Structure 1
């Protein structure tokens, strides 16, 4: 779907009621690839569909498969669930048993998706495999709710304050829910968020459970996609939950500007762009860096940085009325608190949800819904064999049979 296919109608319409101002091309939900569907058939029956270079072997209840995306973790198609009479997304994990790292990641993803339950986090509807025993087990399929557009498409359209603040509010609600389970998303980006025509946002592809530690400046481990990566990760420092707040700030800035905020070519260039935009960090922050990293940072020419008024002038916002300019001022103030290089000074999730730009949407049951069970981080410390991970994953998938 092109950005032009995601259309907004009346900006006066409340996004909480609808971004049905967003038009989605639904296609023909009843196309079943010419295969007759017998609702009495056993759900264990599978059939194969070739999608590009990949073969999907899926339950017969899922028909009309069409590819919609691919990434490092897997290939995703949309399908029609004839039993539930709704569209779904089916993700085939890419080679989950090629090595122990991928196997652990697959187990973690399934475990986390089963753990969380919030309207702003994508839900796991089903999991299956065409193999019926551990010895043959090789393919893992995850079935999720389908959303026809991701945020990277919506970002390309000019957003008024209502829609922008409502989308940020939902991001914060979903991230807060993940944090309450001890889960840091660590890869928040527009393509990892989907939006419905009712303006409902859901976070997906939340991968790794919370870990902390230090890494080399020149060998920073991949965690967050570079453009949305917090300074403490770039600089190899320990990090905590508010790395996700930095990412939300980068996404919000992109929604306003219509372009990536810190488009670094590599992680060193990324840091240089951040410092040029926001200024050289404080001496207190620099003192907490590893010696070699601190020397690099302090060897760079001092950067004054730019104010939020300069980075996000009124011209970037749609509403130029007195009320609109006031809300633009609130948006800049929120950004000034999220896009803070020193994580010790960065705004918290709870503080962000109470910010004037966001709290117009605040509802207690959305912000503080039932907390999920805490994620068992001991699994991150285990060094199991591929076969042991395979057994654990097979057991998880069988829970859905």
Structure 2
């Protein structure tokens, strides 16, 4: 089949429990993952002569919320250009009119595994360092563009066999605004910052908390705060890190503050106990001290003087001190994905 035909003709194939209707250039579809935002399969792109990942968004125009998420993900993947952020190779739909329009397919680079799979292996000094460094570079680039990812977790950070790392899943990303009250239950529970759990206004620092939880899981090989629900999640946090300061309490709304203040008080564990030297690569005492210090700074966000940006966290990167993460502020009109828009799903689809 010639290239022009493959660019225009579609065919349908069952992928897991879903039917994909894709361009004929994409063959050998196989399911590789699914979630609230959609279903993902691998495929071979005959035009590019490479393997790709195709994500079918779940009911993108079912309602206004779904439509905004679909739009955010498409815009961010298209315009946020960085080597540690997944890029958009193609986007298409098989529907020919606006009245029929209901399916959106995003085509992106196919990676080999996510961090959930990677941490099952023993990571040496160099690999652990390089993965963390790339994660921070990607988040730094997002923050420089005024974007809070909000869903940083092991499952949406993906790697290739050469240890190249990329961040994906931007349907829940938001523009950053100081003190803005945002949706509280958006981050995978284990990686939620205290501000998110308690429904407070929050800033880009919530992504730093998520990085701390991810780093902790990478070195401990187990979830740091394995809450069964959002209440248990809060309890797990204060049991290990201690009851927050009164200054933090005063920022809570009255009903939440009453609950938090009535909880038993905990002193928490020292970071030396939570992250003992044996967890870190044994190359030098310097590395051990910086590893514990980095975890400390990522996970003490309720302390007013410990609200760190990615740039500050880089100073405590315990394995790669010589690299410099260069990023440019994205200048496109990021406000187009602001949650302030309240238009119908029909308008979003246009």
TM-score category of the 2 structures, normalised to the smaller one: over 0.9
1:353 counterpart residue number: 314
* 2:302 aligned with 1:342: yes
The separation in 1 between residues aligned to 2:86 and 2:331, in whole angstroms, is: 14
* 2:330 aligned with 1:371: yes
The Cα of 1:213 is off from its aligned counterpart by 4.2
2:39 counterpart residue number: 75
The Cα of 1:358 is off from its aligned counterpart by 5.0
The Cα of 1:384 is off from its aligned counterpart by 1.5
1:180 counterpart residue number: 144
* 2:252 aligned with 1:293: no
The separation in 2 between residues aligned to 1:337 and 1:298, in whole angstroms, is: 24
Cα–Cα, structure 1 residues 80 and 361, in superposed 2: closer, same or farther, change >3 Å? Answer: farther
1:53-89 CA-partner distances (Å, limit 9, x unpaired): 2111111111111110000010000011111111100
2:132 counterpart residue number: 168
**Structure 2 counterpart of 1:210, from 166, 175, 178:** 175
**Structure 1 counterpart of 2:243, from 280, 293, 298:** 280
The separation in 1 between residues aligned to 2:74 and 2:93, in whole angstroms, is: 13
The separation in 2 between residues aligned to 1:203 and 1:85, in whole angstroms, is: 24
**Structure 2 counterpart of 1:138, from 102, 106, 118:** 102
Question: Which structure 1 residue ranges, 5 or more long, are not aligned?
Answer: 1-36, 392-401
The separation in 2 between residues aligned to 1:368 and 1:108, in whole angstroms, is: 21
Contact 2:84 2:135 in 1 (8 A): yes
**Structure 1 counterpart of 2:200, from 237, 248, 268:** 237
1:302 counterpart residue number: 265
Which deviates more, 74-83 or 289-298?
A: 289-298
The separation in 2 between residues aligned to 1:368 and 1:379, in whole angstroms, is: 22
Which deviates more, 99-108 or 257-266?
A: 99-108
* 2:212 aligned with 1:249: yes
The Cα of 1:369 is off from its aligned counterpart by 3.9
1:34 counterpart residue number: none
* Paired residue total: 346
CA RMSD in angstroms comes to: 1.9
Give the TM-score normalised by the residue count of structure 2.
Answer: 0.93
Cα–Cα, structure 1 residues 194 and 54, in superposed 2: closer, same or farther, change >3 Å? Answer: same
1:266 counterpart residue number: 229
Cα–Cα, structure 1 residues 341 and 275, in superposed 2: closer, same or farther, change >3 Å? Answer: farther
The separation in 2 between residues aligned to 1:267 and 1:61, in whole angstroms, is: 44
Cα–Cα, structure 1 residues 277 and 79, in superposed 2: closer, same or farther, change >3 Å? Answer: same
The Cα of 1:314 is off from its aligned counterpart by 2.4
1:136-168 CA-partner distances (Å, limit 9, x unpaired): 111100000110101110011122232112111
Contact 1:194 1:201 in 2 (8 A): yes
1:96-175 to structure 2, matched below 5 A, reads 96-175=60-139
Which deviates more, 326-335 or 254-263?
A: 326-335
Cα–Cα, structure 1 residues 349 and 379, in superposed 2: closer, same or farther, change >3 Å? Answer: closer
User: 3-state SS of the aligned residue for 2:342?
Assistant: coil
Give the TM-score normalised by the residue count of structure 1.
Answer: 0.82
User: 3-state SS of the aligned residue for 1:383?
Assistant: coil
Which deviates more, 333-342 or 243-252?
A: 333-342
Contact 1:181 1:372 in 2 (8 A): yes
* 2:344 aligned with 1:385: yes
1:4 counterpart residue number: none
**Structure 1 counterpart of 2:19, from 46, 50, 55:** 55
* 2:51 aligned with 1:91: no
Contact 1:339 1:346 in 2 (8 A): no
**Structure 2 counterpart of 1:328, from 278, 288, 294:** 288
The separation in 1 between residues aligned to 2:266 and 2:303, in whole angstroms, is: 19
The separation in 1 between residues aligned to 2:27 and 2:116, in whole angstroms, is: 27
